Chain A
């Protein structure tokens, strides 16, 4: 069957998609944060990032409950800490900045799906906390864009450049 085309997320998804605790996949692990920049080096203040990852043991089963609701008020009730959903969602702030709290995935990378006003079709990339044969197959100037910078104990910085000299390597899965 022929797929339905993508369209830009636009600037006005705020009441629909971000949710309280969206960037808190799991506590007690690492903080990954960064900015999203456009081709002029200007921070993108209306991007939305989604994260999908394995648990610390490498399990990719996920679990429901990322945006668990209070059935009385309909408000987001927060994740059940006993359940690892593997999914996160964060909108960039006015400074183009985002923050994710999670654990290091057993397979070594966090998958990222990026949406923004002006971006007509979302983009995928990966945050590598370990190595694998795919990362090693890339030329250094490209693999560098998938590797966060350690800023301190358990804190990593990962900037995404949509365009330009520092352009992030974006992935195609066919």
Chain B
């Protein structure tokens, strides 16, 4: 029996299926991975062309059930909408060290050192220049530095798991970090999230806001993850998986991944002038 998690029972808002599990707290119910896989297959068959984004109502991801609107979104087609502009960030909002998650503490983190880099563009292919990119992730053992994470994997005193940078004039970003571990959660019995890095991105317009997750190629858990599979289109899911590029690996130092990001949503035409 693994050691008991020190976290007491979480409040009801956190004790539902969305949080990670300590092994001594079995998930409620008896839903198996095979049950979830069947639910996913059924929804994929029912929604073959549901667009690039995940369905907000995706019952295999149990936490989505009470957290999606049932009414249709209201269309706003106003050329003066404030959302066609958006927040700007600059060199005062980041420090150069923020892009290297391995150099934030007295000790270096344990794990496989990696670099993740890519280009952020809008859906017309224009680079998103000098905008904020933020990331967060679990440590190499699959544990987040967060009091709500009671997975019985060790914290790493050398790793917080948060980073940020500004894109350059070509829309490029780059981070140095360690490969995060997979971890269990309580969506169903024996549920595991594939290794992933959370990304947060801004465009020139608030409508282009994106929060998403980057996955790693070849991860066997990708086939079973209801969060990833809420994106019902196979090609769209593939766009969430980074590419390993050997030329981006640094000899005797780090493994290189590339992940390009395309922001959805309209922007005001004046932003073409150079923001």
Contacts and interface: CB of A to CB of B under 8 A. Distances in A.
Interface in A47-96: 50, 52-54, 60-69, 71, 74, 85-87, 94, 96
Contacts of B228: 7
Given A4-B263, A74-B95, A167-B70, A46 B86 contact: no
B239 A4 contact: yes
A162 B95 CA distance: 36
Contacts of A62: 85-88
Contacts, number: 257
B156 interface: no
Given A16-B134, A173-B207, A52 B86 contact: yes
Given A1-B125, A2-B236, A163-B67, A120 B13 contact: no
Contact of B211 (A6, A45, A61): A6
Interface string B86-98: 1111111111011
Contacts of A71: 95
A168 to B, nearest CB: 7
Interface residues of A, number: 75
A42 B13 CA distance: 7
A6 B124 contact: no
A142 interface: yes
Given A9-B211, A64-B92, A119-B67, A17 B53 contact: no
Contacts of A68: 92-93
B61 A54 contact: no
Given A9-B211, A12-B136, A44 B13 contact: yes
A154 to B, nearest CB: 21
Contacts of A170: 69, 71, 73-74
Contacts of B54: 5-8, 120-121
Interface of chain B, helix or strand or loop or mixed?
Answer: loop
Interface in B63-84: 63-71, 73-78, 80-84
B177 interface: no
B179 to A, nearest CB: 17
A3 B73 contact: no
A118 B61 contact: yes
A65 B207 contact: no
Interface stretch (B24-32, B35-43, B144-152, B247-255): B144-152
23 contacts: A2-B52, A4-B212, A8-B211, A12-B144, A12-B148, A13-B198, A16-B134, A38-B66, A61-B88, A62-B88, A64-B89, A69-B98, A74-B97, A109-B82, A113-B209, A118-B67, A121-B56, A134-B78, A167-B71, A171-B73, A171-B74, A171-B76, A173-B266
Nearest 10 A/B pairs, CB to CB: A64-B90, A118-B63, A16-B136, A87-B87, A3-B264, A118-B67, A16-B162, A39-B66, A172-B73, A120-B54
Interface of B: 11-14, 18-19, 52-56, 58, 61, 63-71, 73-78, 80-95, 97-98, 121-125, 134-136, 138, 144-146, 148-149, 160-164, 198, 200, 206-207, 209-213, 227-228, 230-231, 235-237, 239-240, 261-266
